[in-house]
Amino acid sequence: MPEQSVSGHPLAPAWLPVPPDAATLDPVVFTSQYARDASGCVTVDGVPVTELARRHGSPAYVVSERTFRSRARGFREAFERALSPLGVDVAVYYASKALLTSAVARWALAEGLSIDTASGGELAVALAAGVPGERIALHGNNKSAAEITTALRAGVGRIVVDSLAEIELVAALARELGTRAPVMVRVTPGVHASTHEFIATAHEDQKFGLSLAAGAEGEDSPALQAVVSCLDAADALDLRGLHCHIGSQIFAAEGFAQAAQRVLALREAVASRWDVVLPEVDLGGGHGVAYTAADSPRGVEEIAADLAALLPAVLESSSLPAPHLSFEPGRYIAGPAGCTVYTVGTVKTVTVEQGVQRRYVSVDGGMSDNARPVLYGADYTAVLANRVSHEAPVLSRVVGKHCESGDVVVKDVYLPGDVQRGDLLVVPVTGAYCWSLSSNYNWLPRPGIVAVGEGGASREIVRRESVADLLARDCEI
């Protein structure tokens, strides 16, 4: 029989306690846009989820415009306040891979952020939203000639080059267009952030960037070779600086400071050997958020203050003026701003072993609208949203409707014992990487994105797919 957890149920993880009231919205994950109205229904910025489901369908991604914008603005202002006393200018690029629509791009721009894109499609959305080219960055480890050409014609503010071959390609395309491409060299600083293997991006054995580690027999590191290649192509490339990203869902500031130290050492070496002072350093993003009560994220003020406390020693070790620093939050801004509303279908209790039971609550979506649990083992939580129940909480697993046993939305959560067909569940913190990773697996149409704005007005900012949309691309119909 499984070992008893502190929660009281032998199948529950130790971090998951039995809630005294399953209707409570834990403020760690249910941020200020959520409440329950007089009838017990969960609201998003004052709009009942029952009304959202009635108007816009289920499942649905729901995004609070107020929360998104306040988190974007708060991030920028916190880092500006913390770093300006050090003489450091700050720019913030919203990492649009987390969630990108034309409305989202405009929200970020309105709050003083630039837009980080990682593909031609993301670049196209940002441009269509009216984001000026100089406020856009283009990332990617395998950019096509077409993507680079589009970026150059749009006058993007930076292209983050990821390999020696790409440096040659960008230079050649810039010469064809008679322009100079503003570039940053992405380096891998070798800082091992505590996160999932697939979203850790600063260790050596991965596809992104150029290593800071010196080669055999003292030859220059790949990162230094990339800098030399950019300087040699100065007629076509304007080398703006260095870029790194140590991973995602990170809670501590020490990794960012360690990465800064190593990147600034490369900047110092470039100045010493070629008398070139690179003006910009980008420390990437990856700031974590709370998905469940087991997570303990820090506020952005604390994150910025911690980094500001660590940076002076790093900057003092350099003889150069402080660089312009930029950051790329995505999950931090979009994640808590969004939730997913599902409708319950089948509820089933199974006996696992020796009489121990688990309840499965099936919903009308699943891994097609949230792939993170199956990709990364990501944990989420959920609440019964259309009413308050006084039934005792039962350990439950919220699952989707796909033909996969791994189709899990919430692995472990306590829900009231009388959850039934037709009830609504809300899964919070799905604003980042859920819609972006969504698919049509089993030919499910993808949900729309509903934005709740000031004054409680809701509108679709991405419409729900229909069966006609699914069939439209089949050339033999």
b/e per residue, 292-307, with b = 16+ CB within 10 A? beebebeebeebbbbb
Query: Which token pair is 390?
Result: 């006084």
Structural Rg of the chain based on CA atoms: 24
Residue 93 assigned to a binding site: no
Crossing angle of helices 145-154/164-177, nearest 10°?
A: 50
Residue 368 contacts residue 442 (beta carbons within 8 Å) = yes
Report the alpha-carbon distance of residue 38 to residue 49 in Å, rounded.
13
Report the alpha-carbon distance of residue 410 to residue 408 in Å, rounded.
6
Residue 330 assigned to a binding site: yes
b/e per residue, 248-277, with b = 16+ CB within 10 A? bbbbebebbbbbbbbbbebbbbbeeeeeee
Residue 280 assigned to a binding site: no
Residue 331 assigned to a binding site: yes
In 3D, which of 89, 140, 148 has the Cα closest to residue 116? Answer: 140
Residue 376 assigned to a binding site: yes
Kindly list the catalytic residues. 403
In 3D, which of 318, 325, 336 has the Cα closest to residue 80? Answer: 325
Residue 287 DSSP one-character state: B
Report the alpha-carbon distance of residue 170 to residue 184 in Å, rounded.
12
Report the alpha-carbon distance of residue 3 to residue 394 in Å, rounded.
18
Q: Residue type for 274, please?
A: W
Report the alpha-carbon distance of residue 265 to residue 212 in Å, rounded.
10
Residue 329 assigned to a binding site: yes
Residue 433 assigned to a binding site: yes
Residues 6+ apart with CB under 8 A from 457: none
Coil/strand/helix, residue 250:
strand
Report the alpha-carbon distance of residue 454 to residue 456 in Å, rounded.
6
Q: Which residues sit in the known binding site for pyridoxal 5'-phosphate?
A: 286, 328-331, 433
Q: Which residues sit in the known binding site?
A: 286, 328-331, 372, 376, 404, 433
Q: Which residues sit in the known binding site for substrate?
A: 331, 372, 376, 404, 433
